[in-house]
Structure 1
Amino acid sequence: MAIAGDPDILSDFIVPANVTTIDASFFTFTGMRFLVPATTFKVSKISLAEFPALNGQSVSYAVLQFPTGTPNPPHIHPCASELIFLSQGTLQVGIVDTTNKLFTHTLQKGDVFVFPKGLVHSQYNADPQEPALAIPAFGSANAGTVSLPNTLFTTGIDDNVLAKSFKTDVATIQALKAGLAPKP
């Protein structure tokens, strides 16, 4: 068994080496003031990398913007559970447990859903007219995200290994990889 999580700290908070003055601004993140409607799925993170005051606090946040018909592809957070609040629209959510059982639900505005740490999950705005806005909280200052499509098809895993694993042919694997390649 492997256990991953944030270590407990022995002080109220951790001051980064490059910070000399601590005031209320240290505890304030202003990076979400300029959210604008997204035309593609967009994740705006508030994790340790963006907000150093989270160091040692075992929490982080994000804003997920789903234009109509967009998914957040299957992924995992290896270091934290996710608690997601839907503030606008509807959102289809699903998790797969370790017995490969799928649990799905359509969230309505105001609903909250939990994705347990390390389980594969995804979200999808199936509404053809209304965007969705979700706000997930994580039980880690750095939950980590492993996107399964990107991990499997953009990291250089041998095409033959993938073809045999998915019981398909190399041409299909190459087509999947081409579809995930960064746009020039």
Structure 2
Amino acid sequence: MTAELVRGQNHPLPDTRLEIRVSAGHPVLAGATLGDEGGRVPGAEWIAHPGAPSLPGVDVPGAPAADQRLSVDLGAMPGTVHRISVLLALTGHGGAARFGAVAAPFVAVAGPDGTEIATYTITGLDRESAVVALELYRRQGAWKVRAMGQGYEGGLADLLGDQGLERPADAAAAILAAAAPEAAPAAT
């Protein structure tokens, strides 16, 4: 039976290989940060995003889209990783600048066979343009998922700064640039 989570609720993860599905109804950038035991992201190389879509144990999509799929292999996570934060950000491309102006994002965690383990609809967002949707965390040798829904009005830079990343504005700018649609060819 699928657990329908509410903000702050957690649920055990019976599998180590997971697929995280995001349905936002509007293009979003999907990424993940890897945090240490204190939840701190030590450096930009600990962030999976469109410009660097693969890290040990996690693969994220290469471009913003309304429907996203992230792959996670908890068994392949380095021992120093204790928290994986799944983040969503509006890029400003396509018109929406805040989550309150679009449909509430829906996130599902599924096992290797596609069976949903836990779902979460992120409600209550308004002026935020970036959000930590879910957190996968290690506690006493076992992994769990927690519904977060923590939004940031200051966007991706504020989200990354809250996770302890040094120079979060630089990292956010690089991530958003990597997610930007390629410039259209010049007309001749």
TM-score, L = length of structure 2: 0.28
Indicate the structure whose relative CO is greater, using CA pairs within 8 Å and at least 6 residues apart: 2
> Which has the greater radius of gyration?
1
The structure carrying a bigger strand percent of its residues is 2
TM-score, L = length of structure 1: 0.28
